[in-house]
Structure 1
Amino acid sequence: MEEHFEEYSWCIEEGQSGERLDKVVSTYQSDWSRVRVQDWIKQGFVTVDGLNKKGNYKVKTGEVIKVQVPPVEELDVEPEAIPLDIYYEDDDVLVVNKPRGMVVHPGPGNPSGTLVNALLAHCQGELSGIGGVARPGIVHRIDKDTSGLLMVAKNDIAHHSLVEQLKEHSVERLYVAIVHGLIPHQHGMIEAPIGRDMQHRQRMTVVERNGKHAVTHFSVRERLKDTTLIECRLETGRTHQIRVHMKYIGYPLVGDPVYGPKKNPYPIAGQALHAQVIGFTHPRTGKRVRIEAEPPEDFQKVLRIMRSQKKD
């Protein structure tokens, strides 16, 4: 099978002059890690004015960087009979309520026990193939420690339709979250680009340059003793978007092991974030579908504790 490389090309700006080649390239796309870029450089997939350079080469203003991104090696994914909490299913689309702690698709650190493994067993081959072997049927994702509703495409026509709706921002995605602090205003909009945190490669952050456009709308549902229950509507779907945006404005999510306080006094293993509503236009019928799922028990338990503290 012929391998297809994605190609990128850009000019070094004055403010980047003198920086290492591997650093400059890794900041161009939020999902390009420094280690991954260094491997591409060694394999000759990165050139500077047509020449191969080492990772520590100091770039100069006006030089043209070209990157060939090799195709991702597909994983051999096995079906696993893992119970699924299915809220909607027909011949085209499936909506599943993903539990906290489950990874959406397999990767080097999670070859099994993922939502994809469970879907392969449940759907028995009836999933779109556009996402490749590792991501059949997957049109969007939520973090491992976020619970809630996900759309899954059972054929390629449905996949194209749902992806297009996501691009057009016509998919309704409503999340509920508990954040630290009391938000004084009832509504807010956060519009801040998100990119890779150069100090902590596993994190995302709000960046001034080379970030992806990100917009989150939020409303206060309930103010508790020193926390706030909010709902968030996503206009875009960036990695860790709600978690990063809420931290950015000073209200990190309760239980968040990456963006929240180090100490978590509440009985929840992961961020208090739940994808409660998903709404989309059905790819075949054209009718609007809207599904809602209440937060899981650990989320509800934290709320009960906070409400009792407010009364004391």
Structure 2
Amino acid sequence: MEKVYHLVSEEEAGIRIDKLITTLDEEWSRTQVQEWIKQENVLVNGNKVKANYKCEPNDKIVINVPEPVPLNIEPEEMDLDIVYEDRDVIVVNKPRGMVVHPAPGHTSGTLVNGLMAHCQDLSGINGVMRPGIVHRIDKDTSGLLMVAKNDLAHEALVEQLVKKTVTRRYEAIVHGNIPHDFGTIDAPIGRDKTDRQKMAVVENGKHAVTHFKVIERFNDYTHVECQLETGRTHQIRVHMKYIGHPLAGDPKYGPRKTLDIEGQALHAGVLGFHHPRTKEYLEFNRPAPEDFCRLLDFLHKRK
């Protein structure tokens, strides 16, 4: 059982303990934290508390994080779009609507289920829930992902992500007419303080940088290419909303009145990295899916 320690700051005073703890790790849900509190896995100044306890300055919080309950993740035969594969790495083109890895309550139909049926040798660094997964893209974002087949490859690919040497370029359709041909958004991202299910640009968030360039303008929409320098949760979606141009179809960060597409119009079309064993630079391209292209055709005809 992992122990996590936190000293409450002046700025955090008055926040409910269950809410505060979810800000310490983006993968901890409020429901999960409330259960830990009930099980007395959370102590404040050595004492058990209730979930609605309001934190005070200099409170010493100790969280005993339970070991994750192992789930039986079953291989499932799927028609995966494997772009590249060797003994170390798989590059797969994930369709829109597919979740990358299992989670409690959602253990089937994910990319990991399909990969486990495709090959037995995935790296174990991320454990039973996320074997081989080096980075993620959202359920309703399509495009290229690299997957590690062994721990050597996994560590090498993660190191490249940390050093920002991986090429990740996305196509997106956003609301509004972006006046600048090129731009860089350098704004920190963290949990939205008013809605824990969302991310937002926040003062004490994690460093996040997105570069963009305009491909084509369509009056009230713009077709853009975005290149990630960092890889924060929902980064492109949050950054484009931040500059007043949310993604078309985005149910979480965009307006209700939008283009007819299931989920955000975002496609990870270009992925490049150095091979973990040979060190050769590899770059892969996949065109945007049919529904994305259909929107572009509609905007062209309307233009």
Range of TM-score over shorter length: over 0.9
* C-alpha contact (below 8 Å) 1:31/1:196 kept by paired residues: no
Q: 2:133 aligns with which of 127, 134, 138?
A: 138
Larger displacement relative to structure 2 (237-246 or 211-220) = 211-220
State the alpha-carbon separation in 2 of the partners of residues 239 and 8 from structure 1: 22
Q: Which residue of 1 aligns with 2:244?
A: 250
Q: How does 1:231-242 map to 2 (within 5 A)?
A: 231-242=225-236
Q: Aligned AA for 2:200?
A: T
Q: Which residue of 1 aligns with 2:75?
A: 79
Q: How does 1:39-188 map to 2 (within 5 A)?
A: 39-123=35-119, 125-188=120-183
Is 2:219 the counterpart of 1:225? yes
Question: Runs of 4 or more off by more than 6 Å in structure 1?
Answer: none
Is 2:272 the counterpart of 1:276? no
* C-alpha contact (below 8 Å) 1:103/1:143 kept by paired residues: yes
Is 2:209 the counterpart of 1:215? yes
Tell me how far 1:31 sits from its aligned partner: 2.8
What do the CA deviations read for 1:195-224 (whole angstroms, capped 9, x no partner)?
222433322222223x22211111111111
Q: Which residue of 2 aligns with 1:28?
A: 24
Q: Which residue of 1 aligns with 2:33?
A: 37
Structure 2: segments with no counterpart, 5+ residues = none
What do the CA deviations read for 1:223-246 (whole angstroms, capped 9, x no partner)?
112111111111111111111111
Q: Aligned AA for 1:237?
A: G
State the alpha-carbon separation in 2 of the partners of residues 20 and 31 from structure 1: 18
Q: Which residue of 2 aligns with 1:303?
A: 296
What do the CA deviations read for 1:128-183 (whole angstroms, capped 9, x no partner)?
11121121111111011000000011111111111111111111111110100000
State the alpha-carbon separation in 2 of the partners of residues 263 and 108 from structure 1: 33
* C-alpha contact (below 8 Å) 1:98/1:150 kept by paired residues: yes
State the alpha-carbon separation in 1 of the partners of residues 290 and 125 from structure 2: 34
**TM-score normalised by L of structure 1:** 0.93
The alignment's C-alpha RMSD in Å is 1.4
* C-alpha contact (below 8 Å) 2:248/2:259 kept by paired residues: no
Q: Aligned AA for 1:176?
A: E
* C-alpha contact (below 8 Å) 2:249/2:262 kept by paired residues: yes
Structure 1: segments with no counterpart, 5+ residues = none
Residue identity over aligned pairs, in percent, reads: 60
* C-alpha contact (below 8 Å) 2:259/2:295 kept by paired residues: no
Q: Which residue of 2 aligns with 1:293?
A: 286
Number of residue pairs matched?
303
Q: Which residue of 1 aligns with 2:194?
A: 199
Q: Secondary structure at the match of 1:55?
A: coil
State the alpha-carbon separation in 2 of the partners of residues 78 and 275 from structure 1: 27
